[in-house]
Amino acid sequence: MFSKGVLPFAKILLLGISFLAIVFKLLVAPNIALAITPTQEQLAKFRQLPKSEKERLAKLAGIDLKTFSSTQSNFTSQPQENKIDEQRAQPEPKMLEPPVTHPLEEGNGTEALSDQDNRDAELLPFGYELFSNPISSFEALSQVPVPIEYVLGPGDTLNVQLFGQLNEYYELTVNREGQIQLPESGPVPVSGMKFEDAKELLKKQIKEKSIGVEVSISLGRLRSVQIFVIGDVEKPGAYTVSALSTMMNALLLSGGVKKIGSMRNIQLKRNSKHIATLDLYDLLLSGDASNDRRLLSGDIIFVPTVKESISIKGEVNRPAIYELKGNTTIGDALAMAGGMTPYAYPKLSSIERFNTKHRREVDTRDLSSPKSLSRSVSAGDIITIGKMSDHVTKAIHVEGSVLRPGIFEWREGIRVGDILQNITDFIDINADLNYSLIVREINPKRDIEVLNFDLGNAILHPASEKNPTLKPNDRILVFDRYEPRDVLLAPIIKQLKSQTKAGENTQLVKIEGGVNYPGAYPLPRNYRINDLLTASGGMIDNQEGPDFGIVVRPINIAGDIETLYIDLTKSVFEPQSGENILLQPQDKLIILTNNPPIRDEKIIEFESALESSYENRMNPTRQNQIRSNQIGQNSLGTPPTRLISEKNSSEPDTPSEYSRNSLIEPILNQLSRQARRDNPLSIVEIKGEVKFPGRYPLANGLTLTNLIKASGGLTESAYLLRAEINRMQLSQEGADIEHLTVSLEAALKHDEKNTNEITLNPRDVVSISKMPEWEENRAIEIAGEVTFPGSYEIHKGETLSQVIKRAGGITSYAYLKGAVFTRNQLRENEQQRLSELKSRLDADIAAALLKDSQDSPSGTKHALAEAKVLLERLNKIEPEGRLVIDLDSVVKDPKHNDIVLLSGDKLFIPQLKQSVSVIGEVQFPTSHLYDQALDIENYIERSGGTTPKADVARIYIVKANGSVILPNINNQWFWQQRENIEPGDTVVVPLDSERFNTITVWSDLSQIFYQLALGAAALNSF
């Protein structure tokens, strides 16, 4: 059978074409050879199609599907599939329970259903499947031996073989007078005689006439008889059948009994007399065909309508609707249904029937007693046989990551190690040997409690207390190290929640943050912090110091909470310390990790594709399992860390499930809601040089040291000699802020008797200062024509000439006039100015468009179009942050011209330039080989001259060092001084800004655009 879901269109199309070809070949042109001949595989695929799809294709072809079904037996040797087999849902084996199976009932060719849901499905009348495979003729009956009691009649043929003194062969047919013409003996009457008697008569007569002749007589072609099949049959009418045919043969030929026809009262009438009654139940249930009479010409087979029936369902081998005949007891009815299954519970059986007021009532009976079985049934009764409970008593159930899960015998004193005897033969290789559970029923209501144990110790130390003693019906759960635990824990958590009484806390605890498997866990007795960490797969790898934990504990039914800070290092490595506290119901442990997992984009991409592909086809639990299996384990053998693509704004590289903000924010919200005048807001804040600054809940007795640990610890740049605590003091007059200066060095001493430890108050704000003169990475970069280019660390106040000297000095190929010096601060300023001008330009364009809609001169439209193009070009330009310097002066006279360096500065010293560039509004912007004999006009002419859009009055030169020489319109020195053009210079022909009168910001934008473009050109020129 095809799996559930929509068949792919291509497969349906292929099967549809094959189906049409089959129909045409069989029903339209059976003698025409087709180019497309259906194969057995195609026929098998068509038979496997759902019924609705078969009907759709048949309707498309205009063919009766029943006709096709009856015809396909002519060209395939494979038997037609049983309808019940097609419709039967395959039962899925239940974990820890043996599959329920029942034998194949050969009486009617149907298999008893093994699944309880199928037993309770709609019942079918019993026995009618006998006629599911119709036949067309009984020609094969002529080849079977003729019984000795066969009665001869007109039309029968006798084959007479004479041998000995006389060798002759005769085919003698019984004529209408009932005689045969025996040569040399005359007519011999045989009609009405049994074949055996007629055979002896003929032998006697022939031997009397011919001495020394032996005789062999056999029946040849048999006569045909005409009979009538009427009543509730599929194809009532007159039929011509072989004289050997019986009532059953005729019923099969007529298509069988209808669903409303009687299977137990089929009548044979001859000459208006009732001759026999055929009960097909005798044939189907016990193989008795003694009442299947042979037919004579003119016989009538009449099938009446069913009168009375009952339904039997539940735990019987053959649930169905059965026809009643005479007085039938409950025992008789169950016998027709094949008896009860081994899983039947007859003491809990019910009989539904109509009372005298025609209302249905239910009678529950114990059908295990003979007295109940002897009671008679009535028409319309529905008998339901109950099923035994699936609950196994005095057994041990083993589930999870084991090699032999299942049900094991319980005996007094049995322990875990007696069932799971060793690790090699009983435990899966991926099993978590540190954390397993025993789920135990504690009362007749089947409430449960949970016990945790160390499976590895239980197996390795079988005689110790580490190997728990088991009680009847205990369940042992063994977890996988590399798969989420919610699959096995979900039913336990559900049960614990359902058995919790009003006003009580559910016996559950939660863990979130930096552990491998966060979530809810059952709370056993004497459960501590280290136990919960073990249950959750342990903390994720942390290479930056110990993690810190916060326990959030409910304190009343109103939902108010309190918080406790936990040193997880002591909880794990010093389990007897006070940090390893006992957990209470509904406690939540939050792990604040200092080393969250690195985001792996490939895994995130895989998770995204998996979720989108299987969104409606797989449940979330199974998706988590597949995702964990695909990710696998890392090189250290630790479980794969779960990743979420959502980022936290304050911790951009941390997945949200590990972010302090996302973990602590719900706690802070609850503390804010429960704050009152007599219950101050229990929140403190830490700022400055800690790894995770922000707001944190205030636990009772929270010290400055613990707050620093909770915030990830101090950064490398933290100043230990001084910190400040801003504390709010409340009084009747109002609130005042007190500033406390403390020494971090004294407060952080690891001395248990440290008297300098500072306890924090509600709303305290702690500020950790940065070390004076601290800078994370103070370096500059020198590239190009120096002896040792590269990155150089600098100290505060160091100058450019000093670093050049450290770099080995400049080379002989250096072109100092073309040096490019960039600074991060200038780049940021340029970016800010660009953003402002872009916004102004957008506003000017919008205003110009509005004006253009009122009066639309063509020139304005053209100017707006060019402005939009220029804006797009401007968006692609990145600011360089260039600072114009005279490097030659710096090198020659550093005392007066030196430059103080800042971190991030970059210096590029190119080789000697031999070109002059011309850009802007010229016909062919390009670079030209430097020629001392050429002036500006010559270079512009070599670039094709200016365009009509050029602003000739504002042509300027950008020198190789980035400085700009602007034209002076009042005198002509600009055009006359050829020495102003030097190698590496760029001639700029700007765009006429007067063409953009509607755009007020154009002049500023044009200037900045060309400056940035030329800065980029200068950097790219070497």
Here the CATH number for the domain that contains residue 170 is: 3.30.1950.10
pLDDT on residue 974: 45
Same domain, 689 and 762: yes
- Model confidence at 943: pLDDT above 60: yes
pLDDT on residue 626: 40
Rg (CA), the chain: 50
Q: Is residue 749 part of a domain?
A: yes
Distance CA 376, CA 353 (A): 12
pLDDT in tens, 592-647: 887 666 555 555 555 555 555 544 444 444 444 444 443 333 333 344 433 333 33
Q: Is residue 981 part of a domain?
A: yes
Q: What global pTM score does this model have?
A: 0.56
Distance CA 673, CA 366 (A): 62
* 306-320 burial code (b ≥16 CB/10 A, e <16): bebbbbbbbbbbbbb
pLDDT on residue 522: 94
Same domain, 1016 and 920: yes
pLDDT on residue 960: 83
| Residue 198 phi, psi (nearest 5) | -65, -35
Query: What is the three-class DSSP state of 162?
Result: strand
The CB-side HSE value for 21 (13 A sphere, CA atoms) comes to 16
Least reliable range by pLDDT among 60-64, 336-340, 435-439, 658-662 = 60-64
The more confident residue out of 402 and 219 is: 402
Give the residue-averaged pLDDT of 732-747.
Answer: 83
CB of 179 within 8 A of CB of 189?
A: yes
pLDDT on residue 10: 42
β-strands 820-822, 926-929: how paired? Answer: unpaired
| Residue 590 phi, psi (nearest 5) | -110, 120
Which residues make Cβ contacts (< 8 Å) with residue 452, sequence separation at least 6? 435, 436, 437, 438, 524, 527, 531, 535
- Per DSSP, 950 falls in state B
Q: Could you say which of 180, 201, 221 is where a domain stops? A: 221
Same domain, 380 and 458: no
Range of the domain at 157: 151-221
pLDDT in tens, 538-575: 888 654 555 789 999 998 887 889 999 998 888 888 88
pLDDT on residue 861: 60
Same domain, 922 and 1011: yes
β-strands 906-909, 266-270: how paired? Answer: unpaired
β-strands 273-278, 266-270: how paired? Answer: antiparallel
Q: State the alpha helices, DSSP H only, in 893-1001.
A: 894-897, 936-942, 973-976
* CA distances for 471 relative to 309, 397, 439, 441, angstroms: 50, 11, 10, 9
Q: Is residue 683 part of a domain?
A: yes
Same domain, 188 and 228: no
Distance CA 518, CA 434 (A): 17
Q: Is residue 607 part of a domain?
A: no
Same domain, 761 and 666: yes
C-alpha 431 chain-centroid distance: 24
Give the residue-averaged pLDDT of 94-103.
Answer: 38
CB of 554 within 8 A of CB of 560?
A: yes
- Model confidence at 68: pLDDT above 60: no
Tokens of 527: 């459960």
Provide the sign of the torsion angle of the four alpha carbons 364, 366, 372, 373, taken in this order.
Answer: positive
CB of 399 within 8 A of CB of 477?
A: yes
Give the residue-averaged pLDDT of 11-32.
Answer: 45
What is the rounded average pLDDT for all residues in the chain? 77
* CA distances for 960 relative to 432, 504, 931, 1010, angstroms: 70, 81, 16, 15
pLDDT on residue 841: 66
Q: Is residue 1017 part of a domain?
A: yes
pLDDT on residue 627: 41
Distance CA 272, CA 782 (A): 124
Tokens of 935: 């002036």
Least reliable range by pLDDT among 14-18, 239-243, 511-515 = 14-18
Distance CA 156, CA 190 (A): 10
Q: What percent of the chain has pLDDT over 70?
A: 71
Judging by beta carbons within 10 Å of its beta carbon (0-12, 13-18, 19+), is residue 687 exposed, middle or buried? Answer: middle
Into how many domains does the chain fold? 6
Judging by beta carbons within 10 Å of its beta carbon (0-12, 13-18, 19+), is residue 869 exposed, middle or buried? Answer: exposed
Three-point CA angle 113, 115, 116, nearest 5°: 110
- Model confidence at 977: pLDDT above 70: no
pLDDT on residue 146: 77
The more confident residue out of 619 and 783 is: 783
Which residues make Cβ contacts (< 8 Å) with residue 777, sequence separation at least 6? 903
Distance CA 165, CA 235 (A): 55
C-alpha 869 chain-centroid distance: 48
Distance CA 256, CA 749 (A): 99
pLDDT in tens, 23-63: 444 444 443 333 344 555 556 656 656 555 566 566 555 55
Distance CA 160, CA 219 (A): 9
CB of 489 within 8 A of CB of 522?
A: yes
pLDDT on residue 50: 59
* CA distances for 231 relative to 268, 294, 300, 717, angstroms: 12, 19, 10, 103
Q: Is residue 973 part of a domain?
A: yes
Distance CA 642, CA 658 (A): 10
Q: Is residue 312 part of a domain?
A: yes
Distance CA 531, CA 214 (A): 104
Give the residue-averaged pLDDT of 931-947.
Answer: 88
pLDDT in tens, 829-849: 888 877 777 777 667 666 665
Query: What is the three-class DSSP state of 315?
Result: coil
Contacts by 647-652 with C-beta closer than 8 Å and gap 24+? 650/694, 651/596, 651/692
Distance CA 400, CA 428 (A): 9
Distance CA 383, CA 380 (A): 10
Give the residue-averaged pLDDT of 119-147.
Answer: 71
Distance CA 519, CA 467 (A): 27
Give the residue-averaged pLDDT of 576-597.
Answer: 86
Least reliable range by pLDDT among 117-126, 134-143, 901-910 = 134-143
pLDDT on residue 90: 36
Q: Is residue 601 part of a domain?
A: no
Confidence grade of residue 855 (pLDDT, cut at 50, 70, 90): low
Judging by beta carbons within 10 Å of its beta carbon (0-12, 13-18, 19+), is residue 670 exposed, middle or buried? Answer: middle
Distance CA 381, CA 308 (A): 10
Distance CA 950, CA 965 (A): 18
CB of 426 within 8 A of CB of 402?
A: yes
Judging by beta carbons within 10 Å of its beta carbon (0-12, 13-18, 19+), is residue 647 exposed, middle or buried? Answer: middle
Tokens of 435: 């954390």
pLDDT on residue 266: 95
Which residues make Cβ contacts (< 8 Å) with residue 136, sequence separation at least 6? none
Distance CA 69, CA 82 (A): 12
Q: What percent of the chain has pLDDT over 90?
A: 30
CATH code for the domain in which residue 467 is found: 3.10.560.10
Which residues make Cβ contacts (< 8 Å) with residue 207, sequence separation at least 6? 213, 215
Neighbours of 843 (CB within 10 A): 13
Same domain, 987 and 925: yes
pLDDT in tens, 321-335: 999 998 999 999 999
Same domain, 386 and 464: no
CB of 919 within 8 A of CB of 1015?
A: no
Query: What is the three-class DSSP state of 409?
Result: strand
Helices and strands in the chain, H and E counts: 30, 42
pLDDT on residue 434: 92
Confidence grade of residue 459 (pLDDT, cut at 50, 70, 90): very high
CB of 416 within 8 A of CB of 423?
A: no
CB of 667 within 8 A of CB of 549?
A: no
Confidence grade of residue 997 (pLDDT, cut at 50, 70, 90): low
Q: Could you say which of 175, 191, 221 is where a domain stops? A: 221
- Model confidence at 586: pLDDT above 50: yes
Same domain, 263 and 215: no
Q: Which helix (H) or strand (E) holds 277?
A: strand 273-278
- Per DSSP, 885 falls in state -
Least reliable range by pLDDT among 530-539, 584-593, 841-850, 936-945 = 841-850
Annotate 951-967 with DSSP letters as a single string: -GGG-EEE-TTS-EE--
CB of 866 within 8 A of CB of 947?
A: no
C-alpha 234 chain-centroid distance: 50
- Model confidence at 871: pLDDT above 70: no
Same domain, 917 and 962: yes
CB of 703 within 8 A of CB of 725?
A: no
Same domain, 215 and 238: no
pLDDT on residue 103: 34
The more confident residue out of 909 and 3 is: 909
Same domain, 922 and 1017: yes
Query: What is the three-class DSSP state of 29?
Result: coil
Judging by beta carbons within 10 Å of its beta carbon (0-12, 13-18, 19+), is residue 673 exposed, middle or buried? Answer: exposed
Q: Could you say which of 342, 374, 390 is where a domain stops? A: 390
